[in-house]
């Protein structure tokens, strides 16, 4: 997908899986519960900033075309973990990471992986909207043009329109595509950043508190958008807002001091948590 070696690994795995399935008796295959569709798998992920360990043996399966929320008190490692999924931590010199993260069974930390390609498969939206100081059109067109994924002006126009439509922004900006993206409202800028992420056709979108700088109305618009986007993309969202996690996420992971204390479907985690620490956090006893 983003490296030759990685593609070969997947091909082997798929053929092995097919062989196993073909050898299974018909009855037992019918009785199997369908395997959850795992898009990203983290296994024993440990992360240090210099001498300080910020993540301890994080294991997590992120399901395809679902929203997974990462919650937990400030400093518990949510953003550090999120940034591992598209190797954004590589940009921090003191960081050391151990363990394994796979995207569709391919190890994203394999030395053969092209990180720029990886980040086009795993896009990111940040807390503070950060459009380029360019026009709305150029904000979307810049990366596809750079990657050479579109050839003609007509294709580029179409890509810009479709990306803005999917991000729920087209109607508001169709008549001013060549004005600066920075002149939009905060909520519009954040949807522009989502459109920019979508334009390179990612499979996974990471969102680090995408609505925390927005007013309640713009927040509601972003939450509705997340709900629509999950039909097509796998979304991982860091949020401090427990109501937001409960509203938008299919699954929720509760982090505490660099560990995942509990992971479950969101309804169960909020209504019937297994762990005392989870219950204390969601009932506001600390954090």
Ligand X SMILES: Nc1ncnc2c1ncn2[C@@H]1O[C@H](COP(=O)(O)OP(=O)(O)OP(=O)(O)O)[C@@H](O)[C@H]1O
Q: Judged by CB under 6 A, does residue 80 bind ligand X?
A: yes
Distance of closest approach, residue 235 Cβ to ligand X, in angstroms: 17
Looking at 6, 54, 214, 282, which residue binds ligand X (CB under 6 A)?
A: 54
DSSP state of 183: G
Q: Is-contact 121 203, C-beta < 8 A? A: yes
- Return the SS3 of 141: helix
**Considering the complex, what minimum distance in angstroms separates the CB of residue 77 from ligand X?**
4
Q: In what order do the strands lie in the sheet with 52-63?
A: 52-63, 38-49, 95-103, 106-107
Nearer to ligand X, 137 or 254 (CB): 254
- Which stretch in 19-27, 78-86, 220-228, 245-253 sits in contact with ligand X by CB under 6 A? 78-86
CA torsion, points 61, 63, 68, 72, in degrees to nearest 10? -10
Region binding ligand X by CB under 6 A among candidate stretches 75-83, 136-144, 152-160, 269-277: 75-83
| Between 137 and 281, CB nearer to ligand X | 281
Cβ distance 66 to 230 under 8 Å?
A: yes
Q: Which of residues 84-143 bind ligand X (CB under 6 A)?
A: 92
Cβ proximity of 229 and 250 under 8 Å? no
Binding region for ligand X (CB under 6 A) out of 70-78, 115-123, 169-177, 271-279: 70-78
Question: Do residues 2 and 118 make contact, with C-beta atoms less than 8 angstroms apart?
Answer: yes
- The residues binding ligand X (CB under 6 A) are 49, 54, 72, 74-80, 92, 240
């Amino acid at each position: 997908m983003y490296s030759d070696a990685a593609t070969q690994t997947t091909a082997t795995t798929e053929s092995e899986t097919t062989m196993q399935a073909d050898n299974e008796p018909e009855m037992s295959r019918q009785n199997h519960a369908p395997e959850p569709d795992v898009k990203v798998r983290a296994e024993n992920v440990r992360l240090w900033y210099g001498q300080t360990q910020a993540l301890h043996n994080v294991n997590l399966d992120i399901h395809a075309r679902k929203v997974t929320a990462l919650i937990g008190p400030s400093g518990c490692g949510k953003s550090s973990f999120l940034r591992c999924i598209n190797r954004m931590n590589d940009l921090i010199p003191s960081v050391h990471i151990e363990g394994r993260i796979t995207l569709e069974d391919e190890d994203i930390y394999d030395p053969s992986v092209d990180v720029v390609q990886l980040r086009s498969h795993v896009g990111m939206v940040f807390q503070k909207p950060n459009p380029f100081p360019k026009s709305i059109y150029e904000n979307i067109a810049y990366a596809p043009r750079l990657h050479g994924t579109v050839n003609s002006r007509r294709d580029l126009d179409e890509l810009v329109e479709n990306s803005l439509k999917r991000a729920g922004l087209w109607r508001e900006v169709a008549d001013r595509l060549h004005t600066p993206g920075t002149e939009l409202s905060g909520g519009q800028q954040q949807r522009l950043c989502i459109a920019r992420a979508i334009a390179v056709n990612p499979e996974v979108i990471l969102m680090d508190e995408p609505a925390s700088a927005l007013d309640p109305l713009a927040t509601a618009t972003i939450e509705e958008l997340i709900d629509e986007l999950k039909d097509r993309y796998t979304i991982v969202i860091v949020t401090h807002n427990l109501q937001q996690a409960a509203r938008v996420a299919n699954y929720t992971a509760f982090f505490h001091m660099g560990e995942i204390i509990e992971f479950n479907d969101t309804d169960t985690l909020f209504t019937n948590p297994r762990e005392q620490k989870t219950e204390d956090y969601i009932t506001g006893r600390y954090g």
